[in-house]
Amino acid sequence: PRTRAGPEGGPWLPGPGWGRSGVGIVRLLEALFACVTFSLVVHQGGWYGRNGDWCMFCWCFCFAMTLLVLLVEFVGLQHRIPVSWKNFPITFAMYATLMCLSASVIYPVTHIQHNAASGKTKDYRIAATVFSCLTCLAYSVEVTMTRARPGEVTGYMASVPGLLKVVETFVACIIFVFISEPVSYDRHEGLKWCLAVYCICFILSLVVIVLCIGECTGWLPCAFNKFLSGYTLLAVLMYATATVIWPIYNFDKNQGGRPNRPSYCSSNSRSFCDWDKLVAIAVLTAINLLVYLADLVYSARLIFIQA
């Protein structure tokens, strides 16, 4: 991917985040909202379990990384660090959007809806949820403001295919969480193939992201755009098989699956039971297939446009 060359040896100038449509102000709001969110949660001890730990990690990680981005932009060190500053900030902003979105859904469901909290404690948790949503909104605004415009020469991760790579890896991570607890891929060889699909596609998408951020795309033995189209086509075909195989071996009686939700799931409305996780994996697999299809269309356009 091509990037504009930055100033070398010239006077200090604030980074593009401070002069491009108020991106710096948006990043300040991100840090503020994230800080308020986890402060409200910590004040009342309002998190517990793995779900609460994940939400706290999302808010704290996003806050710390946003401060780092602000510091680099303000001091003007973006040309002195060993990463592509045309790719890193928007990649982080996209991941932060998805992380805060997940926290904004998980936290109220597990800590408000399915918890007996009341009074002041509940008020704090509701306020934390509101600020978590504002944090997610702020990051999504940054992505919108910094993504590539038609005809603009910028980093690959600022383009639509680059942002889709982030979505692909994030969805795959959610699948890994559901598929590993409890282990639900060891009953049949077909399910093991589905796991292989998730792992291979996740690794390839992550490699593309790392190559772009590290400005190492020249290490590939072929043209970067052709590599993208080839691997995305492979991912579409693999995910298409997983989209069919996973429901067959989990919900078809003839293959040892369970087509209906078990009674023990209905008796405990607070639990996200094992069968629900199998359904979630099937849905997420279909979603990632659609994302890879969109990625393939955009990646193919890159070849024809540059041909």
Residues 6+ apart with CB under 8 A from 78: 6, 15, 72, 85
Residue 270 sits at φ, ψ, to 5 deg, of: -85, -15
Residues 6+ apart with CB under 8 A from 225: 299, 302, 303, 306
What's the pTM value of the predicted model, to 2 decimals? 0.87
pLDDT number for residue 179:
92
pLDDT number for residue 110:
85
Calculate the CA dihedral of residues 186, 198, 132, 25 and round it to 10 degrees. 160
Residues 6+ apart with CB under 8 A from 11: none
pLDDT number for residue 185:
87
pLDDT number for residue 271:
59
3-state secondary structure of 182: coil
Q: Where are the domains of the chain?
A: 15-146, 162-259+271-307
Each of the 307 residues of the chain gets a pLDDT tens digit; together they read 444 434 333 333 444 444 455 899 999 999 999 999 999 999 876 788 888 899 999 999 999 999 999 999 888 888 888 888 989 999 999 999 999 999 999 999 888 876 656 678 888 889 999 999 999 999 999 999 988 776 666 788 998 999 999 999 999 999 999 998 888 888 889 999 999 999 999 999 999 999 999 888 777 788 888 888 889 999 999 999 999 999 999 888 887 778 888 777 766 555 578 888 899 999 999 999 999 999 999 877 766 555 4
Residue 197's closest CA among 294, 297, 292?
A: 292
**The two three-digit tokens of residue 65, written as one number:** 């990384």
DSSP state of 110: I
Contacts by residues 58-64 (CB-CB < 8 Å, ≥ 24 positions apart) = 58/99, 58/100, 58/102, 58/103, 59/34, 59/100, 59/103, 59/132, 59/135, 60/34, 61/99, 62/30, 62/34, 62/96, 62/99, 62/100, 62/135, 62/139, 63/31, 63/34, 63/35, 63/38
Residue 58's closest CA among 20, 105, 25, 13?
A: 105
180: which strand partners? 183
pLDDT number for residue 305:
54
pLDDT number for residue 3:
40
Q: Would you call the peptide bond into 182 cis, given omega within 30 degrees of 0 as the criterion?
A: yes
Residues 6+ apart with CB under 8 A from 239: 197, 201, 285, 288, 289, 292
